[in-house]
Amino acid sequence: METSPIQLAVHSRLLSYGSTESTKLVPASSGNRGKIVCSLRKLELEDMNFSGISRNNDQEAPRRAHRLKALSGSRISLVPSAKRVPTYLFRTDIGCQVKVFVEKTNGKYKVLVEVLPLELSDAHSELVMVWGLFRSDASCFMPLDLNRRGADGKSSTVETPFVQGPSGKVTVELDFEVSLVPFYISFYMKSQLVSDMENSEIRSHRNTNFVVPVGLSSGHPAPLGISFQPDGYVNFALYSRSAKGDIWHAALDCSLPFKTYGYRFKAATSGKGELVLLDPYAKVIRSVIPRQGGSEIRPKYLGELCLEPGYDWSGDVPPSLPMEKLIIYRINVTHFTKDKSSKLPDNLAGTFSGISEKWHHLKDLGVNAMLLEPIFPFDEQKGPYYPWHFFSPGNMYGPSGDPLSVIKSMKDMVKKLHANGIEVFLEVVFTHTAEDAPLMNVDNFSYCIKGSQDMNIQNALNCNYPIVQQMILDCLRHWVIEFHIDGFVFVDASSLLRGFNGEILSRPPLVEAIAFDPILSKAKMIADNWNPLTNDSTENLFPHWRRWAEINMRFCDDIRDFLRGEGLLSNLATRLCGSGDIFAGGRGPAFSFNYIARNSGLTLVDLVSFSNSEVASELSWNCGQEGATTNSIVLERRLKQVRNFLFILFISLGVPVLNMGDECGQSSGGSPAYDARKSLNWNTLKTGFGTQIAQFISFLSNLRMRRSDLLQKRNFLKEENIQWHGSDQSPPVWDDPSSKFLAMTLKADAEVSHTLLSDIGGDLFVAFNGAGDSESVILPPPPTDMVWYRLVDTALPFPGFFDEKGTPVEDELVAYEMKSHSCVLFEAQRLTEIDSSK
């Protein structure tokens, strides 16, 4: 979007929309000749609009005209003084110089205009200063209730005589109340001794008025966003190459009673009107009622003109878990506790505080990391994967929607979860925005990928463009520093590889910068190639620098295929062992984030209940009957399949990722759409299904931790630590599509077996039967002085299908009968352990 120069729109704490009465100046007291004092009678301006200073990074381009022509035409120079008082030096059209000093003292701004008398001819003595005040339009002065006012009653100027002081300097001194700023004072001089009006006026050497800012300055181009300065000013900086200057920046006296701010853009294309846009770097944002008045369109959010509130992080110790130790639970903040069944008060339900109240559910499942679906402000029509902003949590996630309360409640949540050994991850979307997001209007050329519409990519962000890359890095650092976030899952990560024109880069600068950023060095980075725009995933070779993990889509597909009777055994074996086809070459199984069901697509229970043509891409199987049923055989088969999915997820090398609601059979009625997901019904945790599945997940979590030597490995298993079997101990038929049985023995290292055996156990024997018939399984001989204990058989009824202590296998038993569509797990234990357990 091409724009004119940017203006800042700030809103007073005293205001509500619709106020139109103007600021007026009144004489505060009688002053000496050449000195005048102005005070604010009443501040009822809705908008304080003024232009800032832009820095053009393009050295070859001609200087772009500032909207305030008087400023650029006067060639203002800033001269430092001993007291660091801003001093502006002008050259006049008659050759003399004018100095203007602006100083804030005792709650007032003093403006001192000085002309050296030696540089004035006799004809130009007896000077008078003709001045007025304006904010955004130099041609329209603010109404002044002084000695003179314009004929139209809307604009006026004041004539103030210069006086000659003891030092021989000719000066005018003006005092203004602090509550009046920010404004510009525009003036010229005229001689009372020259009758010819044209020759009596003295202006700048470019024949423009002298213009000086009061209560604002040019500020600094960095950092972007707002920053509070030691001198009491707040600095505003915004990147927009489409405007007249790459970085627009201005500083404003922050003692003023302003509450929110935005940037006003005027579209170069006729008919577009003006837009007031949210600062892309705003850390605290407030929801406002969007409306259109005249040619101006109000935004949904404005930045809060305040420091981000401090927080007491004392005692907070991030768990800093090794990646291979993670067990993750994905949560939608609103859906987790919004339902009445959570029994939380209305002001807590569906908020960060709601999670703080229900953290014990995660501990009950054995989870040690929580993954939050995107929490940025978003397009309410399309959902959280269409973000509006990146630097603040959505106000909907806190009590009463107050942004400061939201921020505090999120930090409270993180601190409480950390105290209970649970890490906090965020899903983030940086590859595209909502259709009406501010970035799309701030600078479409820089922030968006060229030709994105041709590639059917809506509002695609140009992530590897330097300024966008910097914004994303700043955002990630902000969440790590201010919110103590432990990791990020980057949705639509394949689009992070795109260049300026949409091409795929082999070494994308953003991905590399994140990998080596020192502030982000302890945060976990996970790439997720699921694209919410198309609701599918794109496979690619993601450049990782041994730093990036990935959500493993192939794991999901291959496990689903096996349990519905499709696919090859070799694919299953590859996923069980940590997906070496993806994560070899410097990473390892800990970089594989495995899942069966996620927050898009079918839920876990729907995955075994629906398989019609509309969900063919889900690789699901309805177990013999579509949808809801009372058929006991179908229901039993579905229950086994749910157990099988969870068992394989936890027994495989890699990081298991659970999805909210799968522990209690949450259904979306067979719809794979994201918006079909419902709030978690806490009552379902008390049903027979919910009770046994939640307990099974807790058992599997404990098993992974207890047998971390085999199930939570950072590196791939050695060849001598794993042995594959068919049902009769013969080698598996890897490439036979009709073969549906696979077994493996995971052998504990000799050193581990010798030192820690009494605590963690010996070898593990695991078998998977994906066929519709039973299978007689020949168990391998256990290690010396050990026997097999059955820990899991997913075909057995609850509560016997899993057992923490296990059931010993009879000595004479050589074969074990596995039912159809089932999995089993045996653990070798010493005879002494068996004797002591009797």
Secondary structure class of 527 (helix, strand, coil): strand
**How many whole angstroms separate alpha carbon 639 and alpha carbon 701?**
19
Distance, in Å, from the CA atom of 715 to the CA atom of 706, rounded to the nearest integer, reads 18
Q: Are strands 77-78 and 35-40 parallel, antiparallel or unpaired?
A: unpaired
Task: State the Cα–Cα distance between residues 28 and 30, nearest whole angstrom.
Answer: 7
Query: At 198, is the pLDDT very low, low, confident or very high (cuts 50, 70, 90)?
Result: low
Distances (CA, A) of 769 to 320, 323, 727, 745, 783: 38, 30, 9, 15, 24
For residue 89, the model assigns a pLDDT of 93
Better-scored residue on pLDDT, 76 or 824: 824
Query: Distances in Å between the alpha carbon of 595 and those of 11, 552, 651, 793?
Result: 48, 7, 12, 21
Nearest alpha-carbon partner for 594 in 611, 617, 576: 576
CA 635 to chain centre: 41
CA-based end-to-end distance of the chain: 78
* pLDDT attached to residue 40: 36
pLDDT digits (tens, 9 = 90+) for 341-400: 999 999 999 999 999 999 999 999 999 999 999 999 999 889 999 999 999 999 999 988
User: What's the pLDDT score for residue 251?
Assistant: 92
Give per-residue pLDDT as tens, 95-139: 888 999 999 988 899 999 998 765 555 655 688 999 999 887 777
Q: Which of the residue ranges 188-197, 245-254, 475-484 has the most confident prediction, judged by mean pLDDT?
A: 475-484
From the list 443, 440, 442, the residue with the least C-alpha distance to 453 is: 440
pTM of the model: 0.87
Q: How far is C-alpha 621 from the chain's CA centre?
A: 36
> What does the pLDDT look like over 681-734, one tens digit per residue?
999 999 999 999 999 999 999 999 999 999 999 999 999 999 999 988 899 999
